[in-house]
A and B are shown apart, each in its own frame.
Chain A
Amino acid sequence: MFRPFRAGLVFALLAVVSAGAADGPVIKFTDVKLKNGLRVIISEDHTAPTVSVAVNYYVGSADERKGRTGFAHLFEHMMFKGSENVGPGEHPALIFTNGGSMNGTTNQDRTLYYETVPANQIELALFLEADRMKSLDINKANLDNQRGAVQEERRLRMDNQPYGKTFEVTGEQAYDNPAYKHSVIGSMEDLSAANVDDVATFFKTYYAPNNAVLSIVGDVDTKKTMALIEKYFGAIARQPDPKRPDLTEPPHTAERRSTIEDPLARLPRLDVSWIVPPAQSADSPALDVLSDVLSSGRSSRINQVVVREKQLATSAGAFAADSKGPGLFSAFAMVAPGKKVEEVEAAIYEEIEKVKNGPIAAWEIEKAHNGARRNQAAQATSTLARAVQLGEYAMFYNDPNLINTRTDKILKVTAADVQRVAKKYLTRENRSVVITLPKAAPPKGGQ
């Protein structure tokens, strides 16, 4: 239950943000835990008559057992198929009918459910989220139906798309640890194998209040909202804390490389991935700035040199992914017609070496700093963005205040830091290269 100002309570009121940091307002919030372990974060914002509710469950594809890849996401679909007091499909129907929007999304580390509603429907949103946390309705007809939808989702996003297979092979080759090795969507075979017992076990294990964070941002009164949360979520039973997957990745000592053929593609594509530390590690801000120098905006080095000047690629870039465990720093390029993939690969490595050996111009670092400031400012325009971030920061790092402090970390990064992390991580031994070549389709009848 909700007991304000007692021992054991986590209560965050924000420190003053250091001068010269974040543009835009400091985001204030309350942060408490119910008796059953549900962490609740509320941030009032009365600028629009709307409220966003995010429920983050600490379970993703990294938690899947062998033979059940894709299950966390398939399960996410089941969460819309009804519970004790809510019929199948009633949750989305009620949210949309009352002027709101909602969805769910799954990645390697977490499963997120969210809705944004007119502020006078906050009770509806809380009731719907609580009912499915408490009492999911599990039956085979719904499972078979959503298995169908998810297998179609896989075809839509991957099997019927050029380079869809590339995306999957990239992860499989870059990781040794099975947690992150497989795709979130999972294999057709494993999706077909999932059964109602899997659903029931997964629900009991992971969909517990003590494995979730409820975050709310918008036009609400904190005290009244807490009373509603206590009413709807307070009696949901705590479960034993689930075991977290071991995400550690053994050191990589030799380059990995493969070439695949894609009958749906018309141009070759290059994908290079380096293993980097988990997000929010000491080196993460410098890796973010490194990705800005290489790839942020048209002035970035890869775009300016590889795409524009040398015209080796029609598009190319680099990005650092956010993940709870070891992440991927990735570079990619679509090879221009008539150019060789080897040339493109060499050109990208050349740009990386130039970063390692300097110089990096002051404006390139300033670009990254200002980019972080702009992102900090932009988050104030969406209640949903803030609700999602507060929830994830609380769940992964026990620090929702990262929403206010993360920009400061970027602002401290120097050119020397960028060079240090480039040298440390973007090495030959640590890289995994996937080359995709178009495969001419065999002649079909009717031509």
Chain B
Amino acid sequence: MKRHLFAIALVAALGAYVEGQQAPPGGATTKAEGTVLKNKAPVNKDLLRVKLPKPQEADLSNGVHLIFLEDRRTPQVNFSMIIDGAGGYYDPAGIPGLAGFTATLMREGTTTKTSEQISEQLDRLASAVSVNSGITSPSATVNGNGLTNNIDTVLALMADVLMNPSFPQTEIDRFKARTRALLMQQRTQPGFLASERLNKVIYGDHPMARVSATPASLEALTRDALVEFHKTHFVPDRAVLGVTGDMTFEQVKAKAEAAFAGWKKSGAALPAQTEAAALSGPSVSLVVRPNSVQTSLRVGTQSIERKDPDFFPLTVANRILGGPFGRLFEHLREQKGYTYGANSFFSSSRIRGAWTASTDVRSEVTDPALTDLLAEIKQMRDVPVPAKDLDNAKRAIVGSFALLLENPNAILANYIDRHFYGLPADYWDTYASKIEAVTAADVQRVAQKYWTPERLQIVAVGDLAKVEPALKKLGTVQVFDADGNPISK
């Protein structure tokens, strides 16, 4: 594991900004000026308008939909098989994590190869095959990538892992031991504890509330359950094969057709996804994490499904509030110095996703930081955004499409989304104009619709004594320990 210059240096080194203070002497909080525009810099007024390259698409004979973007810059190819219906969303009731267990263990041996043989072959070629399944995602992904001249080997291994996993009992036992420890370790992370609690208050008992497998579901895991989940869910009926790289469409089509020829449709319908119950009101939760020196603050709520027309105004509203150098960052960090970062994001899929604002602040300023965070959300509801803020946010969103052209995999992801959510064929061609059409009234409307006080769920992770008084001002506080158990007080 070499520390490759770039990947690690930029992730592990200290940066000025996340994408995501000791009180000065005297203990007072300094309020700095925040952002000031002198408007002397030579900005090119023309926004570089780009057209995303069009993918080539075809259906393979077993029903898999192929989406391909040619990229000749480097001698590499990347295959991603996205299997709708094999994600954690479809975990059987009471066995959260089964889809993820299946995905991980598919890579641990096939009917003709041990886990070691697969690893040695891939590592020798500096290639990779992996299987992933997010705990609330409707789909699982089998990925294979390598240099062009090895791609036949990679593709064969990828297909073998996808179609013929053998789930050896020794690998299941090893996996259980390792995962037991990981389930324990993740509880040391304030971010995990915050997500666990926030998802619970946003989604209740709905599958979208899950953030992780549980010790109970891990212990209950059997080889039979893995075999059954794989057989039932890893089927080509609704799969999409996304490919980028150094090949022609004809080559990719022929290779994919041959590699996945034995993968047959099941004919079974995909179970419908259901919406979570509507929120019943606001809530305030505290997860007690002893020895915390920061409070991890989260304010979240239910958002929208991907096809909702509010997607565009919410995208703009969220950018203004919690995007890079948005109001949360400007206020909580650049003016007050409470935090290293403050941002918000929303997710959306075939069903309603979530919206979350996040910041981690030193324990001592939990109260003013939370007050300011809620005040910024309130301002979005109460005051129409000034034209300048609106224009800058829209320009940033539209302008950033140029940078996508360096990253065919990101462009491909857009086209996969288009297919997956049944968006119109010209969706990405009209995206910029739809963003530009958003008005200040639209932004205020969605802020009032989604960010009302009655919908906001507040979660804090940190030191009990330092955090509880601030939360009590906002309502009845439900208190939990770091294992997720309620603490009755």
A residues near B340, Cβ cutoff 8 Å: 149-150, 152-153, 156
Are A152 and B360 in contact, CB atoms less than 8 angstroms apart?
A: yes
Specify which of A80, A160, A292, A370 lies most central, judged by the most chain B CB atoms within 10 Å of its CB. A160
Give Cα A314–Cα B16 distance, bound, in whole angstroms: 32
Are A336 and B178 in contact, CB atoms less than 8 angstroms apart?
A: yes
A residues near B294, Cβ cutoff 8 Å: 152, 155-156, 159-160
| Chain A, Cβ-Cβ closest to B286 | A446
Q: Out of B36, B291, B464, which one reaches A263, CB within 8 Å?
A: B291
Within 8 A of B (CB), among A307-341: 307-308, 311, 314, 317-322, 334, 336-337
A residues near B120, Cβ cutoff 8 Å: 299, 363
Within 8 A of A (CB), among B3-32: 3-6, 9-10, 13-17, 21-22, 24-25, 30-32
Q: Out of A192, A317, A385, A446, which one reaches B479, CB within 8 Å?
A: A446
Are B487 and A447 in contact, CB atoms less than 8 angstroms apart?
A: yes
A248 within 8 A of B: no
Are B3 and A444 in contact, CB atoms less than 8 angstroms apart?
A: no
Given A50-B406, A105-B10, A123-B44, A162 and B188 contact (CB-CB distance below 8 Å): yes
Give Cα A252–Cα B146 distance, bound, in whole angstroms: 42
Are A90 and B181 in contact, CB atoms less than 8 angstroms apart?
A: no
Are B41 and A128 in contact, CB atoms less than 8 angstroms apart?
A: yes
Within 8 A of B (CB), among A65-96: 73, 76-77, 79-82, 85-90, 92-94, 96
Specify which of B16, B32, B479 lies most central, judged by the most chain A CB atoms within 10 Å of its CB. B16
Q: Out of A99, A142, A374, A379, which one reaches B403, CB within 8 Å?
A: A99
A171 within 8 A of B: no
Give Cα A152–Cα B341 distance, bound, in whole angstroms: 9
A residues near B334, Cβ cutoff 8 Å: 88-89, 145, 149
Flag B288-300 by CB within 8 Å of A: 1 or 0 each.
1011111000000
A179 within 8 A of B: no
Flag B356-390 by CB within 8 Å of A: 1 or 0 each.
00001110000000000000000000000000000
Are A99 and B399 in contact, CB atoms less than 8 angstroms apart?
A: yes
Minimum CB–CB distance from B289 to chain A (whole Å) comes to: 8
Within 8 A of A (CB), among B236-258: none
Minimum CB–CB distance from B2 to chain A (whole Å) comes to: 5
Give Cα A161–Cα B33 distance, bound, in whole angstroms: 31
Are B2 and A263 in contact, CB atoms less than 8 angstroms apart?
A: no
Are A121 and B181 in contact, CB atoms less than 8 angstroms apart?
A: no
Are A319 and B406 in contact, CB atoms less than 8 angstroms apart?
A: no
Minimum CB–CB distance from A297 to chain B (whole Å) comes to: 4
A240 within 8 A of B: no
Are A23 and B124 in contact, CB atoms less than 8 angstroms apart?
A: no
Minimum CB–CB distance from A423 to chain B (whole Å) comes to: 20
Flag A408-446 by CB within 8 Å of B: 1 or 0 each.
000000000000000000000000000000000110111
A residues near B174, Cβ cutoff 8 Å: 308, 311
Are B406 and A48 in contact, CB atoms less than 8 angstroms apart?
A: yes
Are A121 and B44 in contact, CB atoms less than 8 angstroms apart?
A: yes
Within 8 A of A (CB), among B164-194: 174, 177-178, 180-182, 184-185, 187-190
A residues near B225, Cβ cutoff 8 Å: none
Are B324 and A318 in contact, CB atoms less than 8 angstroms apart?
A: no
Are B398 and A73 in contact, CB atoms less than 8 angstroms apart?
A: no
Are B76 and A378 in contact, CB atoms less than 8 angstroms apart?
A: yes
Give Cα A377–Cα B184 distance, bound, in whole angstroms: 39
Flag A96-131 by CB within 8 Å of B: 1 or 0 each.
111111011111000000001011110110011001
A151 within 8 A of B: yes
Within 8 A of B (CB), among A39-69: 47-50
A245 within 8 A of B: no
A residues near B5, Cβ cutoff 8 Å: 322, 385, 388-389, 392
B residues near A98, Cβ cutoff 8 Å: 43-44, 47, 395-396, 399
Q: Out of B14, B189, B323, B406, which one reaches A382, CB within 8 Å?
A: B406
Given A90-B38, A99-B401, A148 and B180 contact (CB-CB distance below 8 Å): no
A residues near B30, Cβ cutoff 8 Å: 141, 144-145, 148
Are A89 and B34 in contact, CB atoms less than 8 angstroms apart?
A: yes
Give Cα A374–Cα B37 distance, bound, in whole angstroms: 44
Minimum CB–CB distance from B23 to chain A (whole Å) comes to: 8
Given A89-B35, A105-B14, A146-B337, A266 and B188 contact (CB-CB distance below 8 Å): yes
Given A263-B290, A319-B2, A50 and B405 contact (CB-CB distance below 8 Å): yes
Are A318 and B1 in contact, CB atoms less than 8 angstroms apart?
A: yes
Flag A287-302 by CB within 8 Å of B: 1 or 0 each.
0100110011111100
Give Cα A377–Cα B147 distance, bound, in whole angstroms: 8
Flag B317-339 by CB within 8 Å of A: 1 or 0 each.
00000011100001001111111
Identify which of A11-19, A183-191, A206-214 touches chain B: A183-191
Q: Out of B22, B147, B324, B341, which one reaches A92, CB within 8 Å?
A: B324
Are B181 and A96 in contact, CB atoms less than 8 angstroms apart?
A: no
| Chain A, Cβ-Cβ closest to B334 | A89
Minimum CB–CB distance from A194 to chain B (whole Å) comes to: 11
Specify which of A88, A119, A161 lies most central, judged by the most chain B CB atoms within 10 Å of its CB. A88
Q: Give the size of the chain B interface in residues (CB under 8 angstroms).
A: 103
B402 within 8 A of A: yes
Minimum CB–CB distance from B455 to chain A (whole Å) comes to: 28
Are B47 and A99 in contact, CB atoms less than 8 angstroms apart?
A: yes
Q: Out of B21, B47, B392, which one reaches A152, CB within 8 Å?
A: B21
A residues near B185, Cβ cutoff 8 Å: 162, 266-267, 314, 334
B473 within 8 A of A: no
B46 within 8 A of A: yes
Minimum CB–CB distance from B242 to chain A (whole Å) comes to: 16
A380 within 8 A of B: yes
Give Cα A89–Cα B325 distance, bound, in whole angstroms: 8
Q: Out of B290, B339, B406, which one reaches A441, CB within 8 Å?
A: B290
Are A118 and B399 in contact, CB atoms less than 8 angstroms apart?
A: yes
Q: Out of A81, A106, A295, A381, which one reaches B73, CB within 8 Å?
A: A381
Are A291 and B292 in contact, CB atoms less than 8 angstroms apart?
A: no
Within 8 A of B (CB), among A1-45: 23-25
Give Cα A320–Cα B2 distance, bound, in whole angstroms: 6
Are B74 and A297 in contact, CB atoms less than 8 angstroms apart?
A: no
Are B6 and A145 in contact, CB atoms less than 8 angstroms apart?
A: no
A373 within 8 A of B: yes
Are A367 and B126 in contact, CB atoms less than 8 angstroms apart?
A: yes
Are A90 and B291 in contact, CB atoms less than 8 angstroms apart?
A: no
Q: Out of A85, A147, A298, A317, which one reaches B119, CB within 8 Å?
A: A298
Are A296 and B2 in contact, CB atoms less than 8 angstroms apart?
A: yes
Q: Out of A88, A120, A385, which one reaches B36, CB within 8 Å?
A: A88
Are B3 and A299 in contact, CB atoms less than 8 angstroms apart?
A: no
Are B75 and A93 in contact, CB atoms less than 8 angstroms apart?
A: no
A281 within 8 A of B: no
B400 within 8 A of A: yes
Are A151 and B33 in contact, CB atoms less than 8 angstroms apart?
A: no
List, sorted by A's number, 17 A–B pairs whose CB atoms are closer than 8 Å.
A85-B41, A86-B41, A90-B37, A100-B403, A105-B13, A105-B15, A105-B16, A156-B294, A157-B14, A263-B290, A288-B2, A296-B2, A311-B178, A319-B1, A381-B74, A381-B406, A383-B406
A-B residue pairs, 6 tightest by C-beta: A99-B399, A148-B337, A148-B21, A87-B36, A89-B35, A145-B32
Q: A88-B32, A149-B333 are in contact. List 11 more A-B contacts (CB 8 A).
A: A151-B22, A155-B294, A185-B14, A292-B1, A322-B3, A337-B184, A366-B124, A370-B125, A374-B127, A446-B464, A447-B487
Residues of B within 8 A of A (CB): 1-6, 9-10, 13-17, 21-22, 24-25, 30-38, 40-44, 46-48, 50, 73-76, 115-116, 119-120, 122-127, 146-147, 174, 177-178, 180-182, 184-185, 187-190, 288, 290-294, 323-325, 330, 333-341, 360-362, 392, 395-396, 398-403, 405-407, 464-465, 479, 481, 487, 489
